[in-house]
Chain A
Amino acid sequence: MRDMSDRKDNEDRKSIIFSFYKAVKSFGNIFPILLGIILLLGLFRTFVSDRMISAVFSGDLLRDTVFASIVGSISAGNAVTSYIIGGELLKEGISLIAVTAFMVAWATVGVIQFPAEAATLGKRFAAVRNAVCFILSILVAIVTVKTLMMIP
């Protein structure tokens, strides 16, 4: 009886080790892509300043909103950075719709991360997801600001 339970314990332990081995192995497959993404983000941080991001806005609502989504999509980094840039843009007179679109696109669309997403979850999935996120960033921004304006 004890032998049987010892064997079962041993098998369980083996399978736990195997489960983690499988996890490390499949993570190892994606690791070069993650490393590449981190190195790209390093380049982005060095060559694209907050001031450069602010410079593309002109004051035209429609143009700024679409531009904001594009800039948010190709930007990367912690969401706090997008809030700070968004706050500064707002102070400079850029519309709240454009600023919201920028922050939503920053958080949901990942152009720099696209290779990693396509390699793991499929090209079609990544393309559809990012395209829908881009369109939604504009729509969410419009309805958010319109709702905010309706509330007294």
Chain B
Amino acid sequence: MKPDKKKNNIRGKSKKVRYPGIYFLGAVLFLYLIISLYTPGNIAKSLTASLDMFIHVLPALVLIVFFMGIVNHFVYPRTLSKYVGEGSGVKGWLLAICTGILSHGPIYAWYPLLKRLRDQGMKSGLIAVFLYNRAIKIPLLPVIIYYFGIRFVVILAVYLIIGSVVQGYIVEIMDASIPDSAARG
């Protein structure tokens, strides 16, 4: 009996996780339906733009799933907490800054991996630092330098890194001040 009960619990839990996403997608599709009644041409344009985006993002998504698999298999909570957990110190902050700068792909593609890392012990502040440093995009530097000059870009990058640390501390303080379950949403 016990295993069945456990199974049911797991199913119940996964249903809870799945439904908000499906409702959200349903709401967006409903929005498309409403707009299509007024401007069908624009809906076709939107769908084409979305498809282009999806094709563009697909390699990053595959890479993220691959990383998640690697993390699941090779990274143990104890190892992870050593580098980005509670006792990681300056090393953890530097790692979050560097990986944030080097990361590619759209921000939303990284959420599942970051959730997995946090479940295994990564500090919320370091997740915020990682996400903030994604504003510094090395492959796009020539474009921003072309428009704004190298001096501006260097100063902006330095302040973005400082800003990321400030943000990390604030998120960490806010996260620590509330119960764990509420913090996880």
Is the beta-carbon distance between B21 and A144 smaller than 8 angstroms? no
Chain A interface SS verdict (over half): helix
Interface: B27 (CB within 8 A): yes
CB-contact partner of B151 in A33, A79, A90, A151, under 8 A? A151
- The interface residues of chain B lying within 8 Å CB-to-CB of A125 are 124, 127-128, 171, 175, 183-185
- In the assembled complex, the Cα of A139 lies from the Cα of B162 at a distance in Å of 11
In the complex where A41-B50, A104-B160, A144-B159 touch, is A128 in contact with B170 (Cβ < 8 A)? yes
Is the beta-carbon distance between B108 and A122 smaller than 8 angstroms? no
Interface centre among B17, B50, B107, B175 (most CB of A within 10 A): B50
CB-contact partner of A84 in B29, B35, B147, under 8 A? B147
In the complex where A19-B69, A125-B171, A132-B167 touch, is A43 in contact with B46 (Cβ < 8 A)? yes
- In the assembled complex, the Cα of A135 lies from the Cα of B58 at a distance in Å of 32
- The interface residues of chain A lying within 8 Å CB-to-CB of B14 are 29
| CB-based nearest B residue for A86 | B147
Contact digits for A132-144, partner B, Cβ 8 Å, 1 yes 0 no? 1100100110011
A-B interface contact total, Cβ < 8 Å: 208
- In the assembled complex, the Cα of A55 lies from the Cα of B45 at a distance in Å of 23
* Minimum CB–CB distance for B179 against chain A, Å: 10
The interface stretch among B1-9, B78-86, B90-98, B111-119 is B111-119
- In the assembled complex, the Cα of A148 lies from the Cα of B153 at a distance in Å of 10
Report the interface size for chain A: residues with CB under 8 A from the other chain. Answer: 66
Interface: B40 (CB within 8 A): no
| CB-based nearest A residue for B14 | A29
The interface stretch among A2-10, A61-69, A106-114 is A106-114
CB-contact partner of B140 in A32, A35, A79, A147, under 8 A? A79
Interface: B156 (CB within 8 A): yes
- In the assembled complex, the Cα of A104 lies from the Cα of B161 at a distance in Å of 12
- In the assembled complex, the Cα of A122 lies from the Cα of B181 at a distance in Å of 9
Contact digits for A67-101, partner B, Cβ 8 Å, 1 yes 0 no? 00000000000011001101100100000100010
- In the assembled complex, the Cα of A63 lies from the Cα of B21 at a distance in Å of 36
Is the beta-carbon distance between A116 and B46 smaller than 8 angstroms? no
- In the assembled complex, the Cα of A133 lies from the Cα of B143 at a distance in Å of 23
- The interface residues of chain A lying within 8 Å CB-to-CB of B148 are 83, 86-87, 90
Is the beta-carbon distance between B21 and A31 smaller than 8 angstroms? yes
Please name 18 further chain A to chain B contacts, defined as beta carbons within 8 Å, in addition to the given A115-B24, A126-B185, A129-B131, sorted by A numbering: A20-B65, A20-B73, A23-B68, A36-B24, A42-B51, A43-B31, A46-B45, A47-B46, A90-B148, A96-B152, A108-B135, A113-B107, A116-B111, A120-B115, A121-B118, A125-B175, A125-B183, A132-B167
14 residue pairs of the A-B complex, CB under 8 angstroms, read A20-B73, A36-B24, A36-B27, A38-B53, A79-B135, A86-B148, A87-B147, A100-B156, A120-B114, A121-B127, A124-B182, A124-B183, A126-B185, A132-B167
